[in-house]
Amino acid sequence: MSYIRYKRFGNKEYAYEVISYWDSVKKIPRQKVRYLGVVIDKKEGIFERKSSRQRGERLILDFGDTFLLYEFMKKTKLIELIERVFKDKAKSLLALLCYRLCDGSAMNYARIWHEGNISSFLFKDIELSSQKISLFLKAIGNEVLQMAFFRDYISSFVKADEGIIMDTTALPNQIKLSFNAWGYSDGEIDKQIRFLFVVDKKSSLPVFFRYLPGNIIDVSTLNITIDELKKFGIKSSFIIIDAGFFSEENIRGLYKGGINFLVRLPSTRRLYRELLKEGVQDLEIIKNAVKYGKRVLFIKEREINLFGEGAYAYIIFDPERKGREIKKLLLDVKDKELEDEEGLEYRLMKRGIMILVSSFKIEKGDLMPLYYMRQTVERLFGFSKDDLKLIPLRVHKEETLRGYLLLIFIALTVLLLLKKEIGKGHTTEEILMTMRNLKCKVYDDEILIQELTKQQKEIIKKLNILVPKSMGI
């Protein structure tokens, strides 16, 4: 059984015969595709297939990685969204997204990449010089445009009906912006900007971002962020947050808003000290033992009064972590600190202990997997900083920074959607590197795509993407 599939590239439409057959060896139905040619008359089934020998070769371009991203973004409707929101800026945005995902070098090299890539034919008539990119980032950093993007993106891609995860990271830099301020993170004080990320608990997709002065502490950002999310239709009933967001004002605000929460209790709180001293008694007993992956933890549950509201505290003890932390503490402790016996005893007692607080009762076996969903945001920060080269920041105007962060946000969304689609068999870096080796040759009136390797065929089959034999110019 066969049928004809049509694809449009540039200003031409191409026809392919898709033939279904039964693989008698693997015992599964399969398909093979045969190129028919340029569509001359679709109704009459007339196609033209020209010989490449009659044409003069002009140049060879990188093809596979950018083409795969372009087709994948079409398939996921991201291109529709981008064209709808950004209109005449869409082509430049799509080109820079592909550049960030395929190469990730400094923005001032984007023009060189574009000229040697199929990007120059997919996204025609755009200028990617350093100056033009700065002007472009400033344009998409427009607040009205960004609000329009988040309204469309959230309504199209994100439900967040099972909850959200929120966290921040520091972006150390030396740029001259008014909100670039001294802040503390990872044990150091740097000039920095705070980058706040909100993630959908169910899909792990990024929902929203904010940037804040480096001296704004996490605790003061929670309620404003929740209010902003409501403006985009996100009215989550559950949130997972880290200790930096814990305060009486925030907890009362969550209760008032009817939002359930799970949060790590800061060790500086009096409640932490009280729960610790009471909870370590009989903590290491069989009824408190819980398997978490290849580890065994001990978890004790307590009902508590949290700023006048009923809540649950979970004292979690990790024996393996305790050993490592005690060794480090005793090796680092100063001679004068040994004299403070009571203080040192308390510090030793805290090793390997974490206390989580929740507005509702959680089964012990579900507690750690639920809390460690927070690592989703940490992984996104990792992807942003390592894969997408978020830092160092090289912008010098607030609007340009907003545009750059939006570019990273959308690139991260594409990366996660692609990772989810490809599954655990491959990494996104692996498939993009593999596809980059697929080249194309540009002639006067047509682009011919070179032969696919076995690995490349496996990738496009898994992603259900059709690679043509040729494209119009």
Q: How far is Cα 404 from Cα 398, in angstroms, rounded to an integer?
A: 10
- Are 141 and 406 within 8 A, CB to CB? yes
Pick the last residue of a domain from 330, 362, 394: 362
b/e per residue 206-241 (b: at least 16 CB within 10 A): bbbbbbbebebebbebbbebbeebeebebebebbbb
Alpha helices in 24-89 (DSSP H): 64-75, 78-86
Are 111 and 58 in the same domain? Answer: yes
Are 341 and 411 in the same domain? Answer: no
Query: Given pLDDT bands bounded at 50, 70 and 90, which one contains residue 52?
Result: very low
Residue where the block lists tokens 């945005």: 93
SS (H, E, C) 152-201: HHHHHHCCCCCCEEEEEEEEECCCCCCCCEEEEECCEEEEEEEEEEEEEC
Q: Can you give the pLDDT at residue 328? A: 85
Q: Can you give the pLDDT at residue 450? A: 95
Q: Can you give the pLDDT at residue 418? A: 93
Establish if 44 belongs to a structural domain: no
**What pLDDT, in 10s, does the model give residues 210-221?**
988 877 777 788
Establish if 42 belongs to a structural domain: no
- Are 95 and 82 within 8 A, CB to CB? no
Are 358 and 409 in the same domain? Answer: no
pLDDT at 263 over 90: yes
Q: Which has the closest alpha carbon to 9: 111, 125, 123?
A: 123
Q: How far is Cα 136 from Cα 116, in angstroms, rounded to an integer?
A: 21
Pick the last residue of a domain from 362, 393, 426: 362
Verify cis geometry, omega within 30 degrees of 0, for the bond prior to 172.
no
Average pLDDT over residues 283-310: 92
Establish if 88 belongs to a structural domain: yes
pTM for the model stands at: 0.78
Q: Can you give the pLDDT at residue 20? A: 79
Q: For residue 93, give the H/E element and its range.
A: helix 90-102
Average pLDDT over residues 28-53: 72
Q: How far is Cα 197 from Cα 209, in angstroms, rounded to an integer?
A: 5
Average pLDDT over residues 342-371: 89
Q: How far is Cα 267 from Cα 424, in angstroms, rounded to an integer?
A: 37
Are 344 and 409 in the same domain? Answer: no
Q: For residue 134, give the H/E element and its range.
A: helix 130-140
358: Cα separation from own chain's centroid: 26
Establish if 106 belongs to a structural domain: yes
Q: How far is Cα 177 from Cα 204, in angstroms, rounded to an integer?
A: 32
Distance from first CA to last CA of the chain, Å, rounded? 32
Q: What's at 130, amino acid-wise?
A: S
> How many domains in the chain?
2
Are 117 and 59 in the same domain? Answer: yes
Query: Given pLDDT bands bounded at 50, 70 and 90, which one contains residue 198?
Result: very high
Establish if 28 belongs to a structural domain: no
Query: Given pLDDT bands bounded at 50, 70 and 90, which one contains residue 379?
Result: confident
Establish if 276 belongs to a structural domain: yes
Query: Given pLDDT bands bounded at 50, 70 and 90, which one contains residue 17?
Result: confident
416: helix, coil or strand?
helix
Query: CA torsion sign, 409 to 412 to 416 to 418?
Result: positive
b/e per residue 306-321 (b: at least 16 CB within 10 A): beeeebbbbbbbbeeb
Query: Given pLDDT bands bounded at 50, 70 and 90, which one contains residue 170?
Result: confident
Query: Given pLDDT bands bounded at 50, 70 and 90, which one contains residue 53?
Result: very low
Q: Can you give the pLDDT at residue 454? A: 95
pLDDT at 276 over 70: yes
Pick the last residue of a domain from 329, 362, 395: 362
Establish if 125 belongs to a structural domain: yes
- Are 194 and 178 within 8 A, CB to CB? no
Q: Which has the closest alpha carbon to 1: 35, 42, 30?
A: 30
Q: Which residues pair with 92 in a beta bridge?
A: none
Establish if 173 belongs to a structural domain: no
- Are 389 and 104 within 8 A, CB to CB? yes
Q: Which domain holds residue 314?
A: 259-362
The DSSP bridge pattern shows strands 309-317 and 353-358 to be antiparallel
pLDDT at 313 over 90: yes
Are 357 and 266 in the same domain? Answer: yes
Are 350 and 424 in the same domain? Answer: no
Query: Given pLDDT bands bounded at 50, 70 and 90, which one contains residue 48?
Result: confident
